[in-house]
Amino acid sequence: MDPRKTFEAIIYVLRTGCQWKALPKEFGSASSVHKYFLAWKRQGVFLAMWRSGLAEYDELEGIAWSWQSIDGAMVKAPLAVEAVGPNPTDRGKKRNQAQPVGRRPWNPAVVSRKRSQHSRREAIGADDGPGGD
């Protein structure tokens, strides 16, 4: 595989948050790209790129190494929905659906029911004890 195309595929996965198997075919085999990612990670390629990028930025703009803070948030990758579409596990979730024409909305007769053994005995009168009183 072309190393440049492989790197572009890895960046695509990292930016969009898509799964490796959802990688568009134009990047090549998803399993091959993933194998390259793991190999490059073991070889320290990404760490070296990070360090090189920091050094270049420090030379150009300057990094205030004496004062740094970090912040983070766990959110979905912003480009994920555009790249791979809606989450397939959301299919079964109820949405505000229009009622079929000519049908009334469904309302349960009983909002909730007690399912404990105690409630069953009360329903059949078994809580009266051995004497029946």
Q: What proportion of the chain, given as a percentage, has pLDDT over 70?
A: 54
pTM for the predicted model, two decimal places: 0.49
Q: Which residue has the higher pLDDT, 24 or 108?
A: 24
Cβ neighbors of 24 (< 8 A, separation 6 or more) are 12, 83
What domain count does the chain have?
1
The reply to whether 125 falls in a domain is no
Its sign, for the CA torsion 88, 93, 97, 102, is positive
Q: What is the mean pLDDT of residues 26-37?
A: 95
Q: How confident is the model at residue 91 (pLDDT cuts 50, 70, 90)?
A: low
* Assigned domain for 114 exists: no
pLDDT computed for residue 44 by the predictor: 95
Host domain of residue 34: 3-64+77-84
Q: Tell me if 49 is assigned to some domain.
A: yes
Residue 35 included in any domain: yes
Is there a domain that residue 17 lies in?
Answer: yes
pLDDT on residue 110: 66
The model's confidence at residue 63, banded by pLDDT at 50, 70 and 90, is confident
Q: Are 26 and 1 in contact (CB under 8 A)?
A: no
- For range 78-105, the mean pLDDT: 65
Say which amino acid occupies 129. G
